[in-house]
């Protein structure tokens, strides 16, 4: 009774609730990406990190997945390396110091004035 729609190279657009939902999801994801802006670079360029510090321990420091020696070691930074500090928090007490720094690459490293020296006078914010 009704003629069949012609099928060409491109399929017909979907409409209705499913199509509207998909459009909302995609536009929301795009808006979120634009509003959030570009991601900050991890320790490569100190100017992008909120705070900058230098490793001064001759043996370097071990990077851990959390603020305690009980967390896994995931890497290290050598003497003289520049690191970006995102924030500070209290963790396991080590040699009388509870302060750990969360680096801009999302790892944690324990710090004392002997191991990491901050650039500038303002201490990093608390996490």
Q: In degrees to the nearest 10, what's the CA dihedral of 94, 96, 102, 106?
A: 10
Is residue 58 one of the residues assigned to a domain?
yes
In a domain, 4, yes or no: no
Query: 110: domain CATH number?
Result: 2.30.30
pLDDT of 36 = 37
Q: Is residue 97 part of a domain?
A: yes
Domain count, the chain: 1
pLDDT at 61: 92
41 occurs within a structural domain:
no
pLDDT of residue 25: 45
Q: Give the pLDDT confidence score for residue 121 in this predicted structure.
A: 87
Is 23 within a domain?
Answer: no
Tokens of 106: 């999302």
Is 67 part of any domain?
yes
Find out whether 100 and 67 touch, Cβ atoms under 8 Å.
Answer: yes
Per-block mean pLDDT, blocks of 10 residues, the chain (127 long): 54 54 47 38 50 92 91 93 92 89 84 85 90
User: Is 84 a domain residue?
Assistant: yes
Tokens of 75: 């890497």
Question: What's the predicted TM-score (pTM) here?
Answer: 0.59
DSSP notation for 39-102? PPPPTT-GGGSSEEEEE--TT-EEEESSSSTTSPEEEEE-TT-EEEEEEEEEEEEETTEEEEEE
Alpha carbons 119 and 101: distance in angstroms, whole number:
14
pLDDT at position 125 is 92
Q: With H, G, I as helix, E, B as strand and everything else as coil, classify residue 115.
A: coil
Residue 53 belongs to domain spanning: 46-118
């Amino acid at each position: 009774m009704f003629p069949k729609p012609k099928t060409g190279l491109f399929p017909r657009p979907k409409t209705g609730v499913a199509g509207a939902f998909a459009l909302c999801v995609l536009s929301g994801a795009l808006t979120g990406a634009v509003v959030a802006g570009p991601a900050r670079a991890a320790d490569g360029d100190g100017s992008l990190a909120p705070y900058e510090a230098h490793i001064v321990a001759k043996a370097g420091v071990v990077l851990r997945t959390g603020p305690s020696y009980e967390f896994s070691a995931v890497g290290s930074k050598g003497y003289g390396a520049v690191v970006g500090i995102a924030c500070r928090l209290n963790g396991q007490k080590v040699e009388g110091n509870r302060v750990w720094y969360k680096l801009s690459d999302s790892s944690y490293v324990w710090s004392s004035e002997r191991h990491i020296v901050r650039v500038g006078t303002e201490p990093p914010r608390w996490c």
